[in-house]
Amino acid sequence: MRDYKYIENLEKSIGYSFYDKDLLIRAITHSSYDMDSNYEKLEFLGDAVLQIIVSDYLYEKHHYLSEGEMTVTRAYAVCGETLGKASSNMGLDKFILIGSSGKKKKINKNKSVMADVFEGLTAAIYLDSGIENAVEFVLRNLIDYISEYIESGDNKDYKTRLQHIVQDKYSIEPNYVVRSEKGPAHDKTFSVDVFVKGRLCGKGKGKSKKKAQQDAAMNALRKFDRRGHF
């Protein structure tokens, strides 16, 4: 595709001009439009690039956060909901290339598709000119969401963040099970396991069931952070 006006307007929307225009086109091409040359592989790379960019930003600019708070904040920053909002704010839905079947379903406005395109563009910019421009693109579009999230204090609520991630990926909720209660009635310690899709994902302990659930959720988030899945 070589519609130069389309490319010019797209580059204005994302705030970056590509050397390799084919990379740009691939980053916004859905598989319904082209099965062989679409954003799926770029999306894979973009996810990793996003993780390191947001991690580095939090480490450098918000070093006062605990490891757990950084993990939760990063998970929020790179989740489908946040990336979808960022893409929407750039107006990318008008530029995503989709096939006739996709047009009927309006998948260009689908939150998940728009998040995938954000990841694809991140990778494309990284490949086109290196990490510095990718950093500039990512932070320009995500920094407000990150700041608002930190200020809200939601990054201290591991259970809520885990629920958001699980619902975003699997459309289900985590399941918490009390494994044991130890100690006298006035000083009990609870042990809780959290399951996702029937699989044990985290273990936690606390002086109340709520604290044990938070601990289990934090443990699950750390595992998710290392593996990228539950």
List active site positions: 47, 119
Residue type, 17: S
Interatomic CA distance for residues 28 and 121, integer angstroms = 7
Nearest residue to 71 (alpha-carbon basis) of 202, 197, 210: 202
Residue type, 217: A
- Alpha-carbon distance of 173 to 168, in angstroms, equals 10
Question: For 123-218, where are the E strands, in sequence order?
Answer: 175-182, 189-196, 199-206
Question: How many angstroms separate the CA atoms of 107 and 208, rounded?
Answer: 44
Residue pair 188/181 in contact (Cβ under 8 Å)? The answer is: yes
For helices 158-170 and 67-77, the axis angle rounded to 10 degrees is 30
Euclidean distance between CA atoms 137 and 125, whole angstroms: 8
In 125-137, which positions are buried (b, 16+ CB within 10 angstroms) versus exposed (e)?
bbbbbeeebbbeb
> What does the alpha-carbon distance between residue 15 and residue 194 come to, in Å, rounded to a whole number?
42
